[in-house]
Amino acid sequence: MFKFTAIALALVTLLLTLEVFGVRSTTAGEKPWPEWSTVTVTGEGILFACPQGDGELLSDKGLTITATLRTSLGYPVAGFPATDLWLIGCDSGLVICGSARPFEGATDVNGRILLDGRILASGCDNTGVRLVAQGITMQPCLPIQVRSADLKSSQGGCPGDALCPDGEVDLADFSFLATHYPSSGNPGASYFACVDFATPYGGSLGLADLSRFATHLSGQHRCNVP
């Protein structure tokens, strides 16, 4: 009896020690906690997006997002599905296409996952993006600017450089691009970063920007995700 009690006490002591020092088997099905989770990216860049989902991959720009998800107690969240992760604009400039989720896979036993994918979105956000996990916004703001071909609504309602995307790349978006595209009829076109879709970035728009946009306009690209 004494031997059994001693063993039981030893096990309890071991379990308490593991809890104190944060050593515990990984958890599954628990919510990640922003204060304990970490999100990093390999560099910074500008990503072209389309509501139809055929924009640039993160890896096209040499970017990979690494997320390590932990609970409110600091334990790793294992098996967290990548389909419950998505990106939003740091300045709320992006409109995500329906329930579209760009990533695949799941976190490992350490709560870690490498993310690569395309952003199904309209709008523009040049301040960066944040990772969202099951509706919980992670920190920090990552230095990835996102510019979509869909910036204006065919129904109007937002004059000038105000953006009001409607989930479809159409003539309203082309007309907006044209106001910032230098030509013989518009030699003094002002530069607007949100329609600067292709390298080289900055200065003024060129054929590379027009060509990239035209591909999505001719295909009548739109958000098809409910």
Domain count of the chain?
1
Task: Tell me the sheet residues that pair with 48.
Answer: 147
Give domain status of residue 223, yes or no.
no
Give domain status of residue 23, yes or no.
no
Give domain status of residue 131, yes or no.
yes
Give domain status of residue 66, yes or no.
yes
Each residue's pLDDT, cut to its tens digit, for the chain (226 residues) gives 444 444 444 444 444 444 444 444 456 668 999 999 999 999 999 999 999 999 999 999 999 999 999 999 999 999 999 999 999 999 999 999 998 899 999 999 999 999 999 999 999 999 999 999 999 999 999 999 999 999 999 998 899 999 999 999 999 999 999 999 999 999 999 999 999 999 999 989 999 999 999 999 998 899 998 8
Q: Identify the pLDDT of residue 152.
A: 98
Give domain status of residue 94, yes or no.
yes
- Domain residues for the domain of 135 are 38-218
Token couple for 45? 């860049």
- HSE of 57, CA atoms in CB hemisphere, 13 A: 8
Q: Identify the pLDDT of residue 138.
A: 97
Q: Both ends of the chain: CA-CA distance in Å? A: 64
Give domain status of residue 48, yes or no.
yes
Q: Where are the beta strands (DSSP E) in the chain?
A: 38-41, 45-49, 65-68, 85-89, 94-96, 112-115, 121-125, 129-133, 136-137, 144-148
Give domain status of residue 9, yes or no.
no
Distances from the Cα of 173 to the Cαs of 53, 186, 194, in angstroms?
Answer: 17, 17, 11
Residues 67-95: b if buried by 16+ CB within 10 A, e if exposed: bbbbbeeebbbbebebeebbbbbbeebbb
Tokens 């579209």 locate to 100
pLDDT digits (tens, 9 = 90+) for 11-50: 444 444 444 444 444 566 689 999 999 999 999 999 999 9
Q: Identify the pLDDT of residue 156.
A: 87
Token couple for 218? 């001719």
Q: Identify the pLDDT of residue 7.
A: 45
Token couple for 143? 């230095």
pTM of the model: 0.86
Token couple for 39? 């999100």
Q: Identify the pLDDT of residue 157.
A: 84
Give domain status of residue 24, yes or no.
no
Q: Is the dihedral of CA 167, 171, 172, 174 positive or negative?
A: positive
